[in-house]
Structure 1
Amino acid sequence: MSHIENARRDYIESLAETMEMYGLSPSMGRVFGIMFFHESPMTLDEMRNLTGMSKTSMSTGVRALSELKLVHKKWQKGVRKDLYEAEHDQFRSFVEFFARLWEKEIELNQKALAKTEKKLIRLMEEDQTPEEEARQAKEDLKKLAEAKRYYAWLRNLVSVFENGDIFQYVPIPDDPDSKS
């Protein structure tokens, strides 16, 4: 292992741990880390040689990283194989990653919320529903109303992230290494 590879290893391993914290495989973090430091776009074969991963695992991992917009496909004249490059703007990656997860959460839970709400309303409207169940249904509908408020707020948060307004509230700090 070269000195430069050894120096990079700590950050690459921390990326692997971070990816795992967010529900992704550590190997995807390593792939991203290797691509992050690589100076030019890479083919799947080049990545595979550096990681020792199988072609299938590499392809699956890169596809997942692409969906998360952590990796982008690049075109290069004269190169027939697909090339990939890591996203280096970590602020943009953060925004896109979390906005995507929150959108999925909103979609999933709003569908379930609407279904549950319909069932509870139907229960309350039925004549044969026991009084205690009707009371519980009414209380559950109040809880669902609070959940709706939460998802409306979360949708607004996603919007603030996606349109970049988040950086008005939480500005990106100046580069501590740059000289003014």
Structure 2
Amino acid sequence: MPESKELNEEFLLQSKERSVESIARSMNYNGIPLSTGRIYGSLYFSNRPLTLDELKEDLQMSKTSMSTGVRYLLDMRAVKKVLKKGERKDLYQFKDDWYQSFADMFAERWKHVSDMNIEELNESKEELLTLREESPEEEIRKEADHLLKKVEYAIEYYDWLAEIAEVFESGQIFEMIPKPSLKKAP
């Protein structure tokens, strides 16, 4: 019988590792490092909050990588720090609502990209407006006007992306596309 128990434990471990890797790859497709996705997956499949040391041991990662990944997940509001009486080390736990965690994570990234690009595009817009008004050469003014239209279109796009991020972050997305009946992770 011990061989059967060992075999079953091995199947459980393989299934968990495959599932963690699946989550990590999915997150990586969306720009999140694989190592951070593994931390997220490991916390998701854990039955209790984990310390950095426990995560390090489970994932065979350096403490620096672990700390960076956890900090990223905290910033993205995908995991939370929990307190446990008598425990001196920080504990981290998966947030129960995967849907809102996804919305928060990607809303934050979309807002960051939008803000950064809008700022740079507005600088280009000002330069092109000045060039269009002050250049003595007709061809340069026409090209500046052509580029200005493209820059304004790009600004509109990033404004729209920021609005989408707000719809996700505020939870309005779930009014448009309701969550399935199982709203929290088991």
**TM-score where L is the length of structure 1:** 0.88
Q: Which of 90, 104, 126 lines up with 1:82 in the alignment?
A: 90
Give the SS at the match of 2:81: strand
Q: Which of 160, 164, 167 lines up with 2:167 in the alignment?
A: 160
Give the SS at the match of 1:73: strand
Q: Which of 29, 32, 37 lines up with 1:24 in the alignment?
A: 32
1:96-117 deviation line (CA, Å, top 9, x unaligned): 0111111111111111111001
Amino acid aligned to 1:24: I
Counterpart in the other structure of 2:124: 116
Counterpart in the other structure of 2:3: none
CA distance in 1, matches of 2:161, 2:135: 37
Q: 1:101 to 1:35 in 2, by over 3 A?
A: same
Q: CA deviation at 1:9?
A: 2.1
Q: Which of 136, 152, 155 lines up with 2:143 in the alignment?
A: 136
CA distance in 1, matches of 2:51, 2:32: 21
Amino acid aligned to 2:156: R
Q: CA deviation at 1:28?
A: 1.8
Counterpart in the other structure of 2:181: 174
State yes or no: 1:99 paired with 2:87: no
CA distance in 1, matches of 2:152, 2:63: 48
Matched residues, percent identical?
A: 39
Amino acid aligned to 2:72: A
Flag as ranges the 4+ runs of structure 1 deviating above 6 A. none
CA distance in 2, matches of 1:16, 1:158: 22
Q: CA deviation at 1:40?
A: 1.2
Q: Residue 52 of structure 2 contacts residue 66 of structure 2 at CA under 8 Å; is this kept in 1? A: yes
Q: 1:120 to 1:51 in 2, by over 3 A?
A: same
Unaligned runs of 5+ in 1: 176-180
Give the SS at the match of 2:73: helix
Q: 1:71 to 1:155 in 2, by over 3 A?
A: same
- Alignment root-mean-square deviation, CA: 1.6
CA distance in 2, matches of 1:127, 1:48: 60
State yes or no: 1:63 paired with 2:55: no
Give the SS at the match of 1:81: coil
CA distance in 2, matches of 1:44, 1:28: 13
Amino acid aligned to 2:154: A
Q: 1:23 to 1:151 in 2, by over 3 A?
A: closer
Q: 1:54 to 1:152 in 2, by over 3 A?
A: closer
Amino acid aligned to 1:54: S
Aligned length: 174
Counterpart in the other structure of 1:51: 59
Counterpart in the other structure of 1:8: 16
Give the SS at the match of 1:85: strand
1:113-151 deviation line (CA, Å, top 9, x unaligned): 1100111111112143x2111001111112222223223
